[in-house]
Amino acid sequence: MAVAGLAVVGVVLVVLGLTTGPRAAAPVAAVADRAPVTSTPTPTTTAAADLPASPPTRIAIPAIGVDSAVNPVGLNPDGTVGVPAPGPHYDEAAWYTGSATPGRPGPAVVLGHIDSAANGPSVFYRLSALRPLDEFTITRADGRTVVYRVNSVQSYPKDAFPTTAVYGPTTRPEVRLITCGGPFDSQARSYLDNTVVYANQIDP
């Protein structure tokens, strides 16, 4: 597989795998709230508040038919962020453990593949179809379910990714949903763009 990485204002750019080969760049957030994954109690919807750290375990995006487990991923030895590896969790969403946990100030970063050569569409295949005001939920390991509303959906060339805007600190709890998109370069076996959904936590 082709792997690409850049350093931009001290933040590492890392690859987001797509198919058996294609990858696209996505930057890593600064280290924020980290918490171990634990068993999930009965979910309760939570208002926008300064919640204690608790990792996400599930994401539901009704507008695009997503209802997926969320698995933690960290950094690879080379400093790139991990993505769902081939196997039983490949088509599930992944939360980067160096980002905020849902309900905490800052962007919680949730990644997902767009497709694979072997199995076709993956968990975030329709991510670019989201529109402002669409709502979705993320369930945390402590049982709280946090509600988010989409602010915007953007597509960026990999070589012009706005690292600070996507991964910079925020005063309120937000989410960035990231996958690959745009044209597919068959020679490089990579999509040329990243799709990023910006969303903020709302009261239920």
Q: What is the pLDDT of residues 96-154, one digit of tens each?
A: 998 999 999 999 999 999 998 888 999 999 999 999 999 999 999 999 999 999 999 99
- Asked if residue 127 belongs to a domain, the reply is yes
Mean pLDDT score of the chain:
79
Residue 135 is part of which domain span? 7-202
Label residue 53 by pLDDT band (50, 70, 90). Answer: very high
CA distances from 136 to 56, 94, 102, 120 (A): 13, 16, 12, 24
How many domains does the chain divide into?
A: 1
Mean pLDDT of 154-158: 92
- Asked if residue 111 belongs to a domain, the reply is yes
Handedness of CA 74, 28, 197, 123 (dihedral sign): negative
- Asked if residue 100 belongs to a domain, the reply is yes
- Asked if residue 126 belongs to a domain, the reply is yes
- Asked if residue 59 belongs to a domain, the reply is yes
Label residue 39 by pLDDT band (50, 70, 90). Answer: very low
- Asked if residue 24 belongs to a domain, the reply is yes
- Asked if residue 1 belongs to a domain, the reply is no
CATH number at residue 136: 2.40.260.10
β-strands 66-73, 56-61 pairing: antiparallel
Instruction: Output the pLDDT for position 102.
Output: 96
- Asked if residue 2 belongs to a domain, the reply is no
% of residues, the chain, pLDDT over 90: 55
Global pTM value: 0.78
- Of 43, 52, 3, the C-alpha closest to 23 is 3
The residue ranking higher by pLDDT, 15 or 102, is: 102
Instruction: Output the pLDDT for position 118.
Output: 86
User: Per-residue pLDDT for 178 more than 90?
Assistant: yes
